[in-house]
Structure 1
Amino acid sequence: MDIPSPTIYRWLDALCEERFIAAHPSGYYVPGERFRDMTLNSMQYEPNVTVRRSILRNLSENLKETVSLAVPQGTKLIYFDRLESHWPFQVNLKVGDFLPLHCCASGKLYLSTLETDAALGVFERIASKDSARNTITQVEEFRAELDQIRKVGYAIDNEEWFDDMVGASVPILSDSGALAACLSTHALVTRKPIQVLKDEIPLMLKAASDLRTNLLG
């Protein structure tokens, strides 16, 4: 680029200060908070947004519940989009918010795609694990949960994030088999028992297949 090295480093420092990039311990630079927010916000206006939201709306109407999309970024899972039902109980999230990896269905699904030691390392570094009455707090129990998710191909939140709320999440995979996004739903347990939620997994998997084409081409 024919730009002096001191100039490049000044620019990098400026971009770090403005949170567009962030220095990584490896010595590389990675996208920062503002770059991430800009990217996620821009995706709300992509050419295929109408198709994507029609898929989400159809699933929401079939399930009669709110449905959401989350995307992985590094060791975090970021809320991306949602189609809300008309029920009064909602989880208040906005684009760019991080999801709890150890207790919501999408977070557990994401961790299940990592190597077990890496996933358990993330779990052990979560300082305050208690979120609801059924939150998993023991490492061996969480290991068994990850094994179960890998076996069945989806994740269930059994009142682990919020008391009296259950949820489910299914993966949207890239051509390489990597997790590209998580499609999830949640409901009050009085309205939708766990078994009913599990019976609706095929509907979610069909929507995930349609969304894969929409999101990844």
Structure 2
Amino acid sequence: MNKADTPTLRAFALLEHLVKADRPLSLAEIVQDFEAPKASLHRMLAALEAGGLVIREPGGKNTYAIGPRLSQLGMNVVMHTGGRRVRHAILSRLVADLGETCNLTMLNETEVLYLDRKEAPWPLRLDLKPGSQVPVHCSASGKLLLAMLPREERGMLVRTLKLERFTANTITDVELLEAELDRIAYKQIGVDNEEFVAGIACVAAPLISVNGTCLAAIAVHAPIARTPLSRAMEFVPRLQEAARELAQTF
């Protein structure tokens, strides 16, 4: 047997195939596009499903998608690879320049996952460590990451969200949220105007890959008593500069 063609590597190649598809695939689609006998595919999919690496979509008996264990593995790789030191150094310089807390986030299903965070040296702060998750519909990074999705995918995701109210400014109407996302997609700047935590404003910028894909978001937040939203908006050019640096670390 070719050492480069072991059962383990074939299973890994199948996982890569499902990840690249960026949508659930039917068994017929997998059989058509993945070079392996149908019986072998059945065995591999059954083993991967038993391990939580793939799941069958509800209502789709033979439609497969990446599972929670694989999603978590991917997030852990991003959070703990060698690029993390470089990313943290960029965040640290940004905080030194702006004087406020900055964070790096990604979309994780229907929530925002904190990949990294650097606190400003102020006593008033939010305790959100790397690995924390916040709602997507009322955070600057979350709305930005939603807005940067392909429109059809974005619409499907928005309709699944529970638009819980956290403050008087939280957007809880689907149509209003869609309109807000359209504005954000046009400007490519996300804003949280006391929508998640009363008294806290936040501004976010996207990390864009060389092929135009939104990889993540970088954001700055602060109490409005110290840095009102109008002041936070002045940070946008420096945020965008840091976003371009950070995009090169992914």
User: TM over 0.5: same fold?
Assistant: yes
| Separation (CA, whole Å) in 2 of partners of 1:108 and 1:173 | 16
Which residue pairs with 2:28 in the alignment? none
Asked if the contact 2:163–2:173 (Cα under 8 Å) also holds between the matched residues in 1, the reply is: no
Map 1:18-167 onto structure 2 (within 5 A): 18-24=51-57, 27-73=62-108, 77-87=112-122, 88-95=124-131, 97-116=132-151, 118-167=153-202
Structure 1 residues 152, 17: closer, same or farther in 2, change over 3 A? same
Which residue pairs with 2:45 in the alignment? 12
CA positional deviation for 1:16: 2.7
Asked if the contact 2:110–2:161 (Cα under 8 Å) also holds between the matched residues in 1, the reply is: no
Percent identical: 29
| Separation (CA, whole Å) in 1 of partners of 2:156 and 2:38 | 37
| Separation (CA, whole Å) in 1 of partners of 2:53 and 2:38 | 20
Point out where structure 1 has 5 or more consecutive residues left out of the alignment.
none
Which residue pairs with 1:172 in the alignment? 207
CA positional deviation for 1:142: 1.8
Structure 1 residues 39, 188: closer, same or farther in 2, change over 3 A? same
Give the structure-1-normalised TM-score: 0.83
The one of the two structures with greater contact order (alpha-carbon pairs below 8 A, sep at least 6) is: 1
Asked if the contact 1:120–1:139 (Cα under 8 Å) also holds between the matched residues in 2, the reply is: no
Structure 1 residues 195, 14: closer, same or farther in 2, change over 3 A? same
Q: What secondary structure does 1:171 align onto? A: strand
Q: Tell me the C-alpha RMSD between the 2 structures.
A: 2.7
| Separation (CA, whole Å) in 2 of partners of 1:213 and 1:170 | 15
Structure 1 residues 105, 125: closer, same or farther in 2, change over 3 A? same
Point out where structure 2 has 5 or more consecutive residues left out of the alignment.
8-36
Q: Deviations over 1:47-94 (max 9, x none)?
A: 333222110100112122221112235665432222222334214244
Structure number, greater radius of gyration: 2
1:191 matches 2:226: yes
Which residue pairs with 1:205 in the alignment? 240
Asked if the contact 2:163–2:172 (Cα under 8 Å) also holds between the matched residues in 1, the reply is: no
Q: Deviations over 1:132-186 (max 9, x none)?
A: 1200112332232122212322010001111111111100111221111111121
Q: What secondary structure does 2:201 align onto? A: strand
Which stretch of structure 1 is more off in the superposition, 63-72 or 162-171?
63-72
- Look up the equivalent residue of 2:239 and give its one-letter code: M
**Between Structure 1 and Structure 2, how many residues are aligned?**
214
- Look up the equivalent residue of 1:20 and give its one-letter code: L
| Separation (CA, whole Å) in 1 of partners of 2:85 and 2:6 | 43
Asked if the contact 2:106–2:113 (Cα under 8 Å) also holds between the matched residues in 1, the reply is: yes
- Look up the equivalent residue of 2:224 and give its one-letter code: V
Q: What secondary structure does 2:210 align onto? A: coil
Asked if the contact 2:95–2:101 (Cα under 8 Å) also holds between the matched residues in 1, the reply is: yes
Give the structure-2-normalised TM-score: 0.74
Q: What secondary structure does 1:106 align onto? A: helix
